[in-house]
Structure 1
Amino acid sequence: MDESTQTESEQGTPTGYGFCSWHQRFAAGVRLINHIEQGSGPGGVQYACQPCRIQYNLVPFADR
């Protein structure tokens, strides 16, 4: 039986290959950290890979 290497809070949460806003490179397993509303500025989103989430104690948006 295959066992998941993800924690319970990460199961079912979308991850993918994308740009990590913290180490400024593309990586696998990035997750949405911040969604910045457009309001009066440009707005945007920030994604982080697993090593950066651990190093900087980042909590994914979906897990808050």
Structure 2
Amino acid sequence: MADATEGPRFDWCHWHNGPSGTAVLIRIIEQGSGPGAALYACAPCREQRRLIPYSEQP
């Protein structure tokens, strides 16, 4: 049984610049000084642009 307090999860897709319920991590941008960045893509953007989730990259 799912936790009643847990609702749908919405993230941001950096490729179409909008909210998404299917976004996964695609790229981590490391910077020498200051915090880095993480880029996420939704399922349609991953399919259209042939993006590979970070966890599946070599």
Q: TM-score if structure 2 supplies the norm length? A: 0.74
Structure 1's unaligned 5+ residue stretches are: 1-15
Moved over 2 A (4+): 40-43
Number of aligned residue pairs: give it. 49
Structure 2's unaligned 5+ residue stretches are: 1-8
Among 10, 32, 37, which residue is 2:25 paired with? 32
Of all paired residues, the percent bearing the same amino acid is 45
Partners of 1:39 and 1:45 in 2: CA distance: 15
Bigger CA radius of gyration? 2
Greater share of residues in strand? 1
Q: TM-score if structure 1 supplies the norm length? A: 0.68
Cα RMSD (Å) of the superposition?
Answer: 1.5
Q: Post-superposition shift, 1:41?
A: 6.5
